[in-house]
Amino acid sequence: MSDRSLILDLLRRASDALLVEPGPGPGFDPGSKPGRDSAVELREAVVDRHLDGLRSALTREDLGEPAIAVLLELLHGAGALRAEDLAPFARTWRTRLFVKPDPYTSAAPAVVTYAAALAASGDGAGGKVADSVARDTRVWSLPVRHLMRGALSRGRDADLAAEAELVPPAHGGGQHRGKGGQAAAHALCLVRARLRGITPVEAACASLTEAPERPPYVRRGFAAAAVALESGGSGLWAHHFRTASVRALDAALRVADDGSLPVEARRRVLALADESTVPDHPRHARPIRVGDAEADRLRAVRSGVGARLDALTQVGGGPGS
């Protein structure tokens, strides 16, 4: 989008204002939810300024699963996790990482990112962790099990089997309603990206158009996945659209303005951008502070994306229209 420089400037200025100077710590309080949310929102600056501190924080035994999940996300999303960073969890991952996750953490469950990072490094332990998680039968672990299917590539046959198993909960029908549906939808996007040789964002948008129109939350779930996958980082999780996030608004507008994607998917994603409180209630934006003049410009950018979509619809053009 033509005015993305405004959002990039907001992120830069927020990084300068909110993050401490480089030092021995991770640059935020991992034990604080506002701190974790700020770190994910400003992920590039956090990793750039505090790489050693993030790695050091992983060795702290006092941190709970939400803190470890965000630390792993920041490092893995930047391709900065080393074997020595993961080694401390080799014996303790079942008790420290594979616990009931906080659903409002802005990162994938810690055990999912841990397994994905191991697999990405070529360590066969990643597959063993995934197999152990898959055998778990606790109700709360169902979304974790779904996500693990998307996080690890186990070969085409495994992905075909995963796709068949993920479609029912992702589409929310019958007995599957409310049982890890968002996690299944997100995992399905990652599996289909591998099977179809397309990007995860393209897979999310294609999956949206292939999903049933009712109930409406099904397609909304794929729209949220598209935004999360466009937002940067590992792309392993999208719990919900973060209405107070400048980063999420930016990602939604980029997906909605991408002429290579199906029009229906772009419209659904723009509907999420319309829910953002950043342009309409800028004082609610967290952690980035948005002024009134900047909010006016953001509303203009959002309106411009909508106008281009409306014009495209009127002439009957665009993929998937």
Summarize pLDDT for 110-119 with one digit per residue, the tens: 999 999 999 9
pLDDT at 1: 40
Task: List, in sequence order, the alpha helices (H) in 58-141.
Answer: 65-77, 83-86, 93-96, 110-120, 125-134
Exposure of 59 by Cβ count < 10 A (0-12 exposed, 13-18 middle, 19+ buried)?
exposed
Tell me the backbone φ, ψ of residue 21, rounded to 5 degrees. -65, 155
Contacts of 3 (CB under 8 A, 6+ apart): 297, 300, 301, 304
Percent of the chain exceeding pLDDT 70 equals 91
Q: Which amino acid is at 312?
A: L
pLDDT in tens, 156-201: 999 999 999 999 999 985 455 556 899 999 999 999 999 999 999 9
CA–CA separation, 213 and 211 (whole Å)? 6
pLDDT at 317: 59
Average pLDDT of span 307-316: 81
The rounded radius of gyration (Å) of the Cα atoms in the chain is 19
pLDDT in tens, 140-162: 999 999 999 999 999 999 999 99
* 129 contacts 118 by C-beta, under 8 angstroms: yes
